[in-house]
Structure 1
Amino acid sequence: MKQIDYYFTVLSPWAYLAGSRLEDIASRHGAVITYKPLDIGQLLTRTGGTLPKDRHPARMEYRMQELKRWSKTLAMPMNHTPAHWPTNGAPASYAIIAAQSAGGGDVAALVQGIMRACWAGEKDIAQDEVIKACLTDAGFDPSLADRGLLAGAEAYGRNLEDGVSAGVFGSPFYICDDGERFWGQDRLEALDAHLSAN
């Protein structure tokens, strides 16, 4: 069975814009997705990237144009300057890690629900009530947000180390089990083609 390691931050507008396309691709090819949320600030720092707040205005202006173009092209509702961004992505990431480990719900729906809450719902995804609502909506026990925080923190740290070792430098980032890497939601068609050919 094919495997896709999906590295991302819950704070990424580009991961939000991926929507359910990764899951659709995986389903067509019988691939299993492992969700690996990580700390994007540390990832960028360690791999030569620049945090948005430190980027030149020209880069940020172009980023905004691209966000508007892509959200329109994909017909995805999006607040391009959400009220609660940036925020602390760790609590939501821990919940995703706990849910993936516990099973019983839809991890993809949880991931997408959390990002939709930020980028379309004007909610602070660092808040317990927002995370618990997303867990419930995805079919998970909302108390997962309160349990396994240490295990979540450890896995969150491991995801960063694994990502750096595997050549990850942004979000979203997809790695197939044959080592092929794809960066960005705009590379999902290439990922699909690669899986079709292998």
Structure 2
Amino acid sequence: MPTIDYYFATISPFTYLASERLEKVAAKHGATINYKPLDIMALFGRTGGTPPKDRHPSRNEYRAQELLRQSRNLGMDFNLQPAHWPTNMAPSSYAVIAAVKDGSGDVGKLVQSLLRACWAEQKDIAQDDVIRDCLSQAGFDPNLADSGLLIGAETYAANLEEAVERGVFGAPFYITEDGQRFWGQDRLDDLDRHLTEAKS
């Protein structure tokens, strides 16, 4: 069974655009997804990237056009300037980490719910009630939001270090078990093709 190491940020708009399609690609190939939420702003600083607020206006203008264009192409609800962005991504990331460990619900659905809450529903995913609702929607005990904070913090930090070591520099980022790296929501077709070729 193939595996996909999935490095992502719960406040990343491009991760939002990709999240549901990644699940479909994985299901098509019977692949296991290893969910690895990380601090994308810290990752930028470690790998030569620049946070959106510090980028040249021409880059941010293009980013805005691309996000709107791709969300329309995908038929996804999307707010270019959500009410609660940026926000603290650690609490939602800890919830994902706790959910992975718990295993009783659908982690992919949880990730999608958090991203949708931020980018389509104008909710603050740093807030406990929003996280608990997303956990519940995905079939988890909402009390996971209050448990495992130490483990969550340790894993969250470890995910960042691992990502830097493995050549991750943005989100979403996918690494297959044979070491092939794919960056961005627009590389899912390439990931799909690679998994198909790996079977033959």
TM range (shorter): over 0.9
Unpaired stretches in structure 1, ≥5 consecutive residues: none
Deviation of 1:19 after TM superposition, in Å, equals: 3.4
Secondary structure at the residue paired with 1:19?
helix
TM normalised by structure 2 equals 0.98
How far did 1:60 drift? 0.4
Residue 77 (str. 1) matches residue 77 (str. 2): yes
Identity %: 64
Conserved in 1, the CA contact under 8 Å of 2:19 and 2:111?
no
Number of residue pairs the alignment of both structures matches: 198
Instruction: Tell me, in whole angstroms, the C-alpha distance in 2 between the residues paired with 1:22 and 1:97.
Output: 18
The secondary structure found in structure 1 opposite 2:19 is: coil
Distance across 2 between alignment mates of 1:92 and 1:19? 15
- Is 2:117–2:124's contact at 8 Å kept on the other side of the alignment? yes
Give how far 1:34 is off.
Answer: 0.5
The alignment status of 1:159 with 2:159, answered yes or no, reads yes
CA apart distance, 1:43: 0.4
Distance 2:114 2:19 in 1: 11
Which residue of 2 is the match for residue 129 of structure 1? 129
Q: Which amino acid aligns with 1:196?
A: T
Measure the CA separation in 2 of the matches of 1:23 and 1:17: 12
Equivalent residue number for residue 49 of structure 1: 49
CA contact (8 A) 2:39 2:89 kept: yes
Q: How much has 1:20 moved relative to structure 2?
A: 1.1
1:107 matched to 2:104:
no
Return the alpha-carbon distance in structure 2 between the equivalents of residues 127 and 33 of structure 1.
26
How far does the alpha carbon of each residue in 1:155-187 deviate from its partner, in whole angstroms, 9 at most, with x for none?
000100111111000000000000000000100
CA distance in 1, matches of 2:21, 2:136: 22
Letter in 2 for 1:168: V
- CA RMSD of superposed structures (Å): 0.5
Report SS of the residue matched to 2:174.
strand
Greater than 2 Å deviation, 4+ residue runs: none
Query: Quick one: distance in 1 between partners of 2:19 and 2:154?
Result: 27
Letter in 1 for 2:154: E
Residue 41 of structure 1: CA displacement? 1.0
Contact 2:5 2:175 in 1 (8 A): yes
User: Unaligned 5+ residue runs, structure 2?
Assistant: none
